[in-house]
Amino acid sequence: MTNQAIRRSQSGEGRLGFVITLIVIAVAIFTGIKVVPVRVSAYEFRDVLREEARYGAVRDSDDVVSKRIMEKAAELELPLKKADLKVSRTESQMIITASYEQPIDLKLTTYVYRFHATEKAPLF
């Protein structure tokens, strides 16, 4: 086999690797664009729960706290249902539990992001 014949048989290998790399990068970017905003909203919502638990003692009632949390969930476009939010207080602490499932369409499949958080804070 001559050098010219060897070069002809290897000429497409570099392009194929490049195309595969581009496909992998495109899939990663697409997935990131779909998943990252959902995760960011979840982290922000967890902060809201933590804040409401901390300052729950100064709120008039658990209903006020629930209403504030539901408003923030609507603002963040989270699929939180009132039945999935539990606000309670004992003599010494405020307890807030929230959970929801958010489907993310990835074209070939649907990923379901599951959020569950419980925040506790002392009442002063």
Q: For 119, list phi and psi in degrees, rounded to 5.
A: -115, 135
Burial code (b: 16+ CB inside 10 Å, e: under 16) for 73-82 equals beebebebee
Task: State both tokens at 118.
Answer: 């419980």
Instruction: Write the DSSP symbol of residue 112.
Output: E
Q: How many domains does the chain have?
A: 1
Q: Which domain holds residue 16?
A: 3-122
pLDDT in tens, 22-75: 999 999 999 899 999 999 999 999 999 999 999 887 887 899 999 999 999 999
Residue 119: name the closest of 48, 68, 61 by CA.
48
* Percent of the chain at pLDDT exceeding 70: 90
Gap between the Cα atoms of 57 and 85, Å rounded:
18
Query: Is the pTM higher than 0.85?
Result: no
pLDDT in tens, 90-123: 888 999 999 999 999 988 899 999 999 999 999 8
**Given this model, what pLDDT does residue 8 score?**
53
**Given this model, what pLDDT does residue 95 score?**
94
